[in-house]
Amino acid sequence: MATPIDISEQAGVRFLHFGSTWVQGAMRIARPWNLELEYTKEMMASLLLRDEARWPRKVLLIGLGAASLTKFLYRNYPLAHLTIVEIEPAVVAAARQFFKLPEDSKRINLVIADGVEYVFNTDKKFDLILVDGFDEHAQPGGLNTLPFYQACRTRLSDEGIMAVNLLGLCRGVMGGFAHIHTAFEDRALMFPSCESGNTIAFAAEGEQIKISLDDMKENALLIKEKTGLNLLPTVARLAQAKTCLNDTLIL
């Protein structure tokens, strides 16, 4: 049965729903390229961890939603090629009609398929994999399994990072993170939960990430100047949570 798609608007923001009040995506109508929901900004904290002047070049997005992450990367990282895997054709249609999904076959490869099957079957490598796929009950299904995360690891480049939205897991956030932690052999961490309740996990492959909070703050200032995205609150929460030993993030 096809997923029911609903669109609502409030205070200048357009929302995507899957047959319930649960928000699956959002866009501020006056600023369609900006990231509206807090957790989408948090997923972009991956940009703090590599040399963002040349990274990422190849991105895999699993779950399209309101195309927020797609539009942000497309607009602000013109050298990046984006592969988007979305299982539900109605979501793609809604993103095009209501959320200004760009039409650019040279830079955007839109695949209507199951994200798990795509990762298992592709031989492509990606610098950044963003996993944000949920059904109408806010469950990720096969996207939250050890074999899937292991497969994601094999699809990452030598500077690869994976970011996963762990909201709504039936066994809790820690259960989902345990799969990621195992798949990446400890090269994984969870950022402190943002106010929306979402927890974003990051995992890395290849070259070790070792970056001080001061350098992350400097990177955040550069990204804010370039894109308008303010990741300084994320860095501040990392500092407050004592997540980083000796004020250095190692991944």
Cα 138 from Cα 144, distance rounded (Å): 12
Residues shown for the chain: 251
Burial class (CB in 10 A: 0-12, 13-18, 19+), 127: buried
Q: What tokens does 133 get?
A: 């796929």
Cα 223 from Cα 77, distance rounded (Å): 11
Give the chain's radius of gyration (CA, Å).
Answer: 17
Which residue in this structure is represented by tokens 């806010």?
Answer: 138
Cα 249 from Cα 251, distance rounded (Å): 7
Q: Which residues are catalytic?
A: 132
Beta strands in 124-217 (DSSP E): 126-131, 156-165, 188-190, 200-204, 210-212
Cβ atoms of 17 and 23 closer than 8 Å: yes
